[in-house]
A and B are shown apart, each in its own frame.
Chain A
Amino acid sequence: MRSKKFMLVALVMIAALSLSVAFVQAQDTQVIKIASQSPLSGPQSILGISIRNSAELAVEQLSADLEAAGFTVEFVPYDDQATPDVGVSNANNIVNDAAILAVVGHLNSGVALPSSVVYDDSDLVMVSPANTNVNITDRGLVTVNRICGRDDSQGAAGAQFAASLEGVETVYVLHDTTAYGLGVAEFFQAEAEAQGLEILGFEGTEEAANFDGIIQPILALEPDLIYFGGIYSQTGIFINQARSAGYEGIFVGPDGFDSSEFAELAGDAGVGTYYTSVAAPVSVYPEAEQFAADYEEAYGEGVQPFGAQAYDSAAIVLAGILAAVEANDGALPTRAQVAEAVRAIEGFEGLTGTVTFDDNGDNEIASYFILQVVSADKDEWNNNELLSTQEIPSPLFAEAMG
């Protein structure tokens, strides 16, 4: 009886000792976490999952320098469900995890706008691979950066292209009522008017399934071209139904069209659709070949648009953290130091081009692409025809250049 009690006490003591040793060891290598926020469920999850996977791949491949400096780098993906309130509630969880030093995200500008305020309150840096709304950076937050282009330039590029098409005189503009869709549609409208096109209608709709009612006035107005500022999960279905209701004109859209799922949703009706993009298919970037192969090997499927951008965003974040660690004599930097280091990055050579942030966090020179859907087969999506590429400077940079 007595020996049993003794054994028990001894066991407990050994257990406690080993635990404390483990604890001390864990303290030895400090953990740095990089979070991602993108829709991992819901209709837009195809792009969102690709963003998560690409960022994860970057963290796996590029954190050797940080690990050599004595840190463990972890990747924590969050699902923002493409919904602002979920994004904000995730953001609150993220800022409360002291180990998280940077966020890669979001897919949707409508989610990024409120979430980035939460990050900014805690000086947490965000690098966006995909948010094109002008207000993302125009608010001038120190922590918010993006490597992709902007809606004003993208909408204008779309309108200029629409005006250059033969026989297009009248356009009908639709948007999905989100910050993204409305934003890009308004910039399209402004530039289209400046180009002398007649705007027959400007409509917002949240409808996701049955567009019959929305199509009726369009058929009556007979526009030469329809511009739809929205995401493929809505626009693909719309285009499919508009064609089968007898609309014969041209469809143009923003980068929200850019997913292989669009081909599936729109079917044959979607072939010939033009879209502008801030992210060309991976095949357009010569540097991204290895990445596309690695991605396919790791996740068993092809990388979606914004994947390469997400990889670059994570790479920039890692480079920024490394710079902050070096500036901090090898100690763990604060979030504010990381944010400063990320903004200070100059001439970063990523897969998708060179990144230098201006004072608002825009990439100084961003690329815009005009593509045309070539096939209703989703496997052919990466072969969509690239019609033209434009390099447009960010507003601040353009001003500085005079």
Chain B
Amino acid sequence: MSTETVNPRPPVGLLSSVLTNPIVQRIRSNWLYRFIVFPIGQMIFFIAGAALIMTVIAYFVAFLFPEPRPNIILADQITKQLPGMVISGIGIGFVYAMIALGYTLVYGVLKFINFAHSEIFMVGAFIGFEVMETLAARGGIGDISPFILIPATVIIAMLVSGTLAVVIERVAYRPLRGAPRLVPLITAIGLSFLLIDGVRAIAAITRNDFNLTYPTNELPYLRNPIPLSFNGAVVGGFNLGGTTYETLTADGADLEEWQVKETVYQAVTVGGVTLGGVPVDTNDITTGETEYELILIGGRDLNEIEDGANVVNIRVTIVIIVFSAVLMLVLLNYFVNGTKMGRGIRAVSQDQTTAGLMGINVNRMIALTFFIGGAFGGGAGALFGLNVGTVTPYVGFFPGIKAFTAAVLGGIGNVTGALLGGLTLGMVESFLNGTLVYFPALGQRYTDIFAFSVLILILIFRPSGLLGERVDEKV
């Protein structure tokens, strides 16, 4: 997924014999592998790697400070919070990664940092709000299928933000293309203020308020968390509507036994494989009326799990963020590496003049890059808005700064680097938030200090970022 490596160096070392093997090469050049398996595998690898490293560090800290505060056994707390921290890290990590793509793509082609990008993100969050609010004002937003409503919201936010980014490029950056590099940088910072105050003015005039709350009150499916048990086996509690349950009737002694607990789990089985359990309120169970099943997963009876213990609640919006981000990143990878236009963008990022001589319309490719970057930022904005519930014109600043950090951490100009940087930063932040609490005199307010110390440390040893290549000659 790199825009920089067009001709990878011939593989050397231990892997060379494997990589030059004709069967391996056939697989590597296969469409399915290049555009589906490899990018998704890469994401899973990054997430698992970051989570694993942070887990090891967390337990090491717990080993050094077993009881940072009286009655708090740090290792126990980490065990309890681990899935929650990992999930929250993935959620915020994908948001950072999607914003970071905008910075890194533009840097790739123009070698300048588009500081107005955080405001494109903010505009996306507002457009998402406008779409939902307009529908909600019409009434019946709750009746629209979430599989239409949410993609529609995100796509409209992407289109508007992408277009805005193109307009900004045309109006503010293109006339300055020959100017010294500091000039567009200052323009970008100016544009950033312009967008903040512009959105604030528009929102204040049209809505009489610029703290805007997504109408998620009317979308109950976004608000009920998905419980996930990790005691013995990881159980996803997805309600895969339409599947038929293999069931037993709940009556007599069974029912009495169940009603002691707050919730029982109704099995979700697809093709004979039990995927998970949907929690059912025991008060809703009446003898003989509905059928329920005690489900067995990984040799454990899910209903034996103590109420409330070791059940992590996942917010539905985080699941939506992850699904959307993965889908969009896979599409981006295909676009950049699998299409003619993507090849054009790569060519422009390598050498603008030569690309122009080869018949590539450089201006159009740059506009396209801004559109893609803006669309990713806007999509991330709408998803972020959906997740946090409330947007203000100032909401872009911190995610923007952090995503820029993520882009630098991963190696600016490198698309895979943006993904890695975003996921790493999200994971580091989430683990710090989860563990600093237990240290007296420290606490969550120091999360950013530690997160940025990690950044400085990495940059000392790898000045061009985790995946960045050393660029000897700049344009």
Contact = CB atoms under 8 A, between A and B. Distances in A.
Interface of A: 41-43, 46, 177, 201-206, 208-217, 219-222, 233, 236-237, 240-241, 243-246, 261, 264-265, 267-269, 376
A216 B88 contact: yes
B223 interface: yes
A231 to B, nearest CB: 12
B389 A213 contact: no
B112 interface: no
A237 B315 contact: no
A41 B394 CA distance: 12
A203 B217 contact: no
Interface in B194-233: 200, 209, 211, 213, 216-217, 222-225, 227
A213 B436 CA distance: 11
Interface stretch (B268-276, B341-349, B426-434): B426-434
Given A210-B92, A210-B384, A265-B211, A216 B430 contact: yes
A209 B240 CA distance: 30
B405 interface: no
A210 to B, nearest CB: 5
Interface in B288-321: 308, 312-313, 315-318
A41 B80 CA distance: 42
Contact of A265 (B77, B316, B390): B390
Contacts of B222: 244
B151 interface: no
Nearest to B225: A246
Given A213-B430, A245-B313, A267-B217, A237 B84 contact: no
Contacts of B200: 41
Interface residues of B, number: 49
A41 B392 CA distance: 12
A240 B389 contact: yes
B387 interface: yes
Contacts of B384: 209-210
B445 A209 contact: no
B439 to A, nearest CB: 11
B80 to A, nearest CB: 4
Nearest to B391: A209
Contacts of B225: 244-246
A216 B390 contact: no
Question: Across chains A and B, which 4 residue pairs bring their CB atoms closest together, nearest first?
Answer: A246-B313, A213-B433, A212-B88, A220-B80
B308 A222 contact: yes
B445 A217 contact: no
B81 to A, nearest CB: 4
Contacts of A264: 211, 213
B192 interface: no
Contacts of A261: 211
B434 A216 contact: yes
Nearest to A210: B388
A86 to B, nearest CB: 14
A147 B313 CA distance: 45
Given A241-B315, A244-B223, A210 B387 contact: yes
Contact of B437 (A203, A222, A236, A376): A203
Contacts of B11: none
A217 B81 contact: yes
Contacts of B91: 212
B395 interface: yes
Given A219-B84, A246-B227, A213 B92 contact: yes
Contacts of B318: 212
B443 interface: yes
Given A233-B211, A246-B225, A204 B80 contact: no
Q: Which of A206, A216, A236 has the most C-beta atoms of chain B within 10 angstroms of its own C-beta?
A: A216
B85 interface: yes
Nearest to A244: B223
A240 B398 CA distance: 20
Contacts of A236: 390
B430 A217 contact: no
Contacts of A245: 225, 313, 315
Interface string B68-90: 00000000010011001100110
B443 A267 contact: no
Contact of A205 (B84, B429, B438, B444): B444
Given A244-B317, A264-B213, A269-B223, 6 more contacts: A41-B200, A43-B211, A204-B444, A213-B447, A216-B434, A219-B84
Given A216-B84, A244-B225, A244-B315, A209 B430 contact: no
B213 A217 contact: no
B388 A204 contact: no
Contacts of B434: 213, 216-217
14 contacts: A201-B437, A201-B438, A203-B437, A203-B444, A209-B399, A213-B89, A214-B444, A217-B435, A219-B84, A219-B312, A237-B388, A241-B389, A244-B225, A376-B217
Nearest to A202: B443
Contacts of A177: 445
Nearest to A247: B313
A269 B216 CA distance: 11
A211 B84 CA distance: 12
Q: Which of A46, A222, A246 has the most C-beta atoms of chain B within 10 angstroms of its own C-beta?
A: A246
B393 to A, nearest CB: 9
A50 B241 CA distance: 49
Contacts of A221: 77
Contacts of A240: 389-390
Contacts of A246: 225, 227, 313
Contacts of B316: 244
Q: Which of A201, A212, A219, A269 has the most C-beta atoms of chain B within 10 angstroms of its own C-beta?
A: A212
